[in-house]
Structure 1
Amino acid sequence: MKKSITLTLAAAAMAVAAVSCNLNPKVGQDGSTASATSGVTIMACDETFQRIMEQEIEVFEYQYPNASILSYYIPEQACVDSLLHNRAKIAVTSRPLTDNEMTYMRSRNPRSKMIAVDAIALITNTANPLNEISVSDLGKILSGEITEWKWVEPGNNSGKIDIIFDFSGSSTVRYMTDSILDGRPFGSNVYAQNSNAKVVQTVAENKGAIGIIGVSWISSDLKNMSMTTEQLADASQKNDTTNLSFNSDIKVLAVAGKDQLPGEGKKPYQAYIYDGSYPLYRPIYMTVTGYKNATQNGFFSFVTGFAGQKLLQMTGVLPAAMHPRIVSVD
């Protein structure tokens, strides 16, 4: 199976120069050496969305063997900075670029589009009896006002609450700070694992843990899939629906929004992201720069087209251009 390449920024730039010479692609109007389906380009992606974009790159490169997307997965603001300073041609972020940022890149023909909507899932150990949590209680947990599970659910003996994030400066942390805490600081029981996979592992091994993670990292569709790249590419062309389920190593909590009563909470299935009844969601944006027929614009067209959107659907996020999947509700 062809794997995408994760590189440091300096190494990526050197690789582009080397591979471009070997491919001998066309020269664009701005002097860039690439075409929509051949050549090399660099993508800076929010590390939260790594699992999503690796699948997109894998199929794009399979369909267009002369094209290479060199990817590196870093904090969101670093993605934006890389795009602004022309160190990357593609940025994948959870926020749109500002008008000032787009104006700054005007001479490089920026294009930006929302490609999907991501849900932020709350996961606990399977031994934790809690099945639903309110946004209000989540805020109290994050701020340190609630530090034990028995204060969330009387009789819950899961003990002290440990809050598990991916990265200390991630867009997931920013979402919780802005949307749940309204700018207030976190409590002292917050831990970053520097890996989304490690968040799942830590929660699976610790009864008192609650993990906060993008839904694509807990989709059992990807966890259990043994598709070859060819099969994955074929699946991206089919106009069908499949049931979505979650990783059985952890428990996914239902979340009740501010206007929902106890028992009305929803899990992060695509239909509930679509209708807004799952309250923890955020957009995913792709922004590219460069001339129309550059490799990055070819990849942009792929991701926003039918095949790319179907691949996004398979990861558990809600594609921007497709209807929600049939869901498996438990």
Structure 2
Amino acid sequence: MRRRLLYILSFLFLVICGCSKKGSAIKQTLYSGEIRIAVDESLKPIMEEELQVYHAVTPEATIVPVYCSEVEAINLFLKDSVRLVIANRRLTDQEISSFHTRKFFPESIRFAIGGIALITNRHNPDSLISKLQFRDILAGKIVNWSDLYPSSDLGRIQVVFDNPNSGTIRYAVDSICQGQTMATTLTAQKTNEEVIDYVSKTVEAMGIIGVNWVGNVGDSTRLSFNESVRVMRISDSSNPTVQNSFRPYQAYLALKKYPLTHDVFILINDPQGALPTGLMTFLTGDKGQRIILKSGLVPATQPVRLVNVKEDF
């Protein structure tokens, strides 16, 4: 009887301890707990830097990022699998209505200015293009390098994106093609890293990636680009010249002189005002915005000082 009583007491003790641990694991505040967030893969470099600092200054919080395509990230958000998303667009009216029917009121908060970059192989000497020419390439109206540059001895332009469901492709469809059907010859890898690798090995390739992937990680000033590829200059003019074309330097992103500039958003649905709100506050606050400034993008919620950029033409 005594042994049986000991067994029962031991069992109750384990149950109580288990419940206690379970309760502590799910306890969440502005500065503690554990959550998953979804991040458009094109924004991975900047979020890796943000989370490294965030975890250092908020040791009781654990953020588990899911790097995926924009479509996948938004789907996780709509299914309430994550409460915070980093993406290259706002929520649509239809998506907001979907939340409102469930009595949720999400927000789209602009927190950085980024864009997409066009990259070519280092052995391709031609790196000047107009936004209109880029549109014609996407639509299949320009197919060969010689159509852009008559003196080029390269063959077909091999256009490669990062992912079929990425925000980069959505931006190209919505903002560049503007209703025109994209060519069926365009191809996609899985990540921005794979695009850079492919372009660095393929002379006829033109890669389309997020601008925060083209920075030279060895340059703390962020005034140079990845040396394994060539970053193209782009012009809003139908007659592109060196003088009216721009690369995605921070100053040109901030002034919207670079033609392929777009905003970056935090999408948040946090009715309890817990850890997702704490992370959002960090990202839009002074520390988070300083990291954006150092990354090559442009802060959206803090003032910035612009300096003249002198390019080597």
- 1:35 partnered with 2:29: yes
Q: Which residue of 2 aligns with 1:48?
A: 42
Amino-acid identity (%): 31
1:152 Cα deviation (Å)?
A: 0.4
Match of 1:71 among 41, 65, 73: 65
Seen in structure 2, the aligned counterparts of structure 1 residues 61 and 152 have a Cα distance that, compared at 3 Å, is: same
Contact 2:131 2:234 in 1 (8 A): yes
CA change 1:97–1:324 in 2 (3 A) is: farther
Q: Distance in 1 between matches of 2:23 and 2:55?
A: 14
Alpha-carbon distance, 1:119 to partner: 1.7
- TM-score normalized by the length of structure 2: 0.85
Cα deviation, residue 311, structure 1: 1.0
Residues 1:198 and 2:194 are matched in the alignment: yes
CA apart distance, 1:21: 4.3
In the alignment, the residues of structure 1 paired with residue 38 and residue 265 of structure 2 have an alpha-carbon distance, to the nearest angstrom, of: 12
Structure-2 separation of matches of 1:23 and 1:39: 11
Amino acid at match of 1:323: V
Q: Is the 8 A contact 1:23 1:39 kept in 2?
A: no
| Alignment counterpart, residue 323 of structure 1, candidates 301, 304, 307 | 304
**Cα-Cα RMSD:** 2.4
Residue 266 of structure 2 aligns to which amino acid in structure 1? M
Aligned residues: 289
Match of 1:247 in 2: 226
- Which residue of the other structure, out of 218, 226, 245, is the alignment partner of 1:224? 218
CA contact (8 A) 1:117 1:281 kept: yes
Question: In structure 1, what is the Cα distance between the partners aligned to 2:118 and 2:56?
Answer: 34
Unaligned runs of 5+ in 1: 1-17, 26-31, 226-240
Provide the rounded CA distance (Å) in 2 between the counterparts of 1:50 and 1:328: 28
Q: Give the CA deviation at 1:184.
A: 2.3
In structure 2, runs of 5+ residues without a counterpart are 1-17
Determine the C-alpha separation between the residues in 1 that align with 2:127 and 2:240.
Answer: 14
Query: For residue 260 of structure 2, what is the aligned residue in structure 1?
Result: 280
1:85–1:183 Cα change, 3 Å: same
Query: Which one-letter code corresponds to 2:86 in the other structure?
Result: V
- How far did residue 298 of structure 1 move? 0.7
Spell out the pairing of 1:82-231 with structure 2 (5 A cutoff): 82-106=76-100, 107-220=103-216, 223-224=217-218
Determine the C-alpha separation between the residues in 2 that align with 1:77 and 1:21: 35
Deviations 1:246-298 (A, max 9, x none): 11111111100147753311111111111111110111110222246411111
Provide the C-alpha distance between the structure 2 equivalents of 1:198 and 1:260, rounded to a whole number of angstroms: 32
Helix, strand or coil at the partner of 2:262: strand
Cα 1:158–1:284, aligned 2, differ >3 Å: closer, same or farther? same
- Alpha-carbon distance between aligned partners in 1 of 2:46 and 2:54, rounded to the nearest angstrom: 13
Residues 324 and 47 of structure 1: CA distance in aligned 2, closer, same or farther (over 3 Å): farther
For residue 101 of structure 1, report the CA deviation from its aligned partner. 3.1
Quote the residue 1:6 is aligned against.
none
1:108 to partner: Cα distance: 4.1
Aligned-pair distance for 1:179?
Answer: 1.7
Q: CA shift at 1:79, angstroms? A: 1.9
User: Match for residue 237 of structure 1?
Assistant: none
Structure 2 counterpart of 1:276, which letter? K
Give the CA deviation at 1:303: 0.3
The aligned residue for residue 29 of structure 1 is none
Matched residue type, 2:111: I
| Partner SS for 2:168 | helix
| 1:284 counterpart letter in structure 2 | V
Shift of 1:23: 8.5
Cα separation, 1, equivalents of 2:210 and 2:181: 21
Q: Which residue of 2 aligns with 1:58?
A: 52
> How many Å separate the matches in 2 of 1:51 and 1:59?
13
Q: Which one-letter code corresponds to 1:35 in the other structure?
A: T
Q: Residue 161 of structure 1 contacts residue 189 of structure 1 at CA under 8 Å; is this kept in 2?
A: no
Measured at CA, do residues 293 and 140 of structure 1 come closer, stay the same or move farther in structure 2, by a change above 3 Å?
closer
SS at the partner of 2:174?
helix
Amino acid at match of 1:176: A
Please give the TM-score of this superposition, normalised by the length of structure 1: 0.81
| Bigger Rg, structure 1 or 2 | 2
What is the CA–CA distance in structure 2 between the aligned matches of 1:259 and 1:160, rounded to whole Å? 22
The answer to whether the 8 Å contact 2:35/2:63 transfers is yes
